[in-house]
A and B are shown apart, each in its own frame.
Chain A
Amino acid sequence: MRLYSSEELLNRELCDIMAQEKHRLGLVSLDAPLISNLSVLSNIALIKQYHGGLTVPEAEDIAEMRLKKLHLEDIAAKRNSVLLEVQRFCAMILRAVMVEDAMVVIDRPFKIMPDLDDTHFIREVLTSVDDLFRECHIFDYLWNEERYTGGMIHGA
């Protein structure tokens, strides 16, 4: 968890880590939304199709298994605009962990899910997929520190 006192500072640090780790970066951010003309399944499968050279059925099988892991099979065919905030977050996490040897970077999670009071849900999601990524970093503002009480997440 990395907390910053200003937006400028946070953005600078985020840009630095994105530049340093671009080959294994799995970004979860509103600045990297799901592709709107693809279903959730295709959004998740796209990474393995493009970088792993997998065929559409192969990549979609993996994506489907990952959705099942979070009990989200029912959103596979849905598109970004109809997702609930928490579903969108989970889809972005699953897309991020499709990156080989992923370093998951979650950029201001409470901006993605403003209704959350604490990190309980985020921790739960990350624990469910903790075998799929190498490390995870959360970037947020210092004034959200209270919402992060109760220990930190795997690798962060």
Chain B
Amino acid sequence: MPNSSTEAPSTGWVGRKLASVSVLPALIALLVAVVLYSITIGRYDLSVRDVAYILIDNLHPLVTPYWDPVQEVVVEQVRLPRIMAAVIVGFGLAVSGAALQGLFRNPLVDPGIIGVTSGAGFGGTLAILIGLQGYLLLGMAFLFGVGSVFLVKLLATVRGRTSMLTLVLAGVVISAFFSAAISIAKLLADPFQKLPAITYWLMGSIASSNYLDVLLVSAAVVPSAVAIYLLRFQINIMSLGEEKARALGTKVVLVQWIILLASALISAGVVATSGIIGWVGLVIPHVARALVGADHQRLLPVSGVMGAIYLLMVDNLARTVTTAEIPLGIITALIGVPVFAVILRRLHAKGGWSSD
């Protein structure tokens, strides 16, 4: 008799269809609700009804505008782009975290741990230092993000095989290197203009996001997330280990590179628009896995939407708790670290993770 503790959530073709129709739409509905609510909160009070009318008015005027033009500006120019940025950043980080955890068969991995984030961070810092912005900054962040992936893979691969433990260690080494490089860049930066810009940007903030930023981060996140989702079944297989995957007929190297490059692009997009925001990609996939199981077909979209909801709520905290903005990266770390500690303990207790 299968008991509930050993049963994976929703199996069977019909069961799966059911799970994917119930959990995901519920989360999407929740996301929409949180988005609407997020637009109402802040120093300028609005009701959900006002927000709905203001937004719908863009598509099709339902009622004659009764609101103050200031309200429209607050909704459409100040809050909406920022909220969209939070949604896309959270979505991207969670999807890439879930994909990397599957790929490296290691539940304690995220873009930060394998060195992509700090590589992209250095790229962005360098871009600010030499006065680049927008897509050029994104390009630099991507270049260094990918570069750090190359370096990490190179360090961790011995005779054509990549051990997952060495990969994480190599990630730590490369992260340390780029952190040092960031410090050097700060040291060289003009202390009155560029240094504060770099410092604040690195702490992670989407406070000043406009639609161009949203477009930029979408350009990085959307195609990458699509590529990752298309590989959903291959990620399942990769999580059995490289040798097993090869024996099952998977194009291991190709899949690894697509996932790594897609993750690097997501990280670069996120870093370019909002600085370094850690822990989302590590923590969210665990919660999602508890909800829908390990199969990446369901895990990836559910992780993404949960990441979006999570980061949006974190950003709401960041902009409303105090009169000053709290950098996002600080809040995600404050929440993420204890959650990570709990996950680590639970994994350890269950013996659920054996490294190779």
Partners in one complex: no
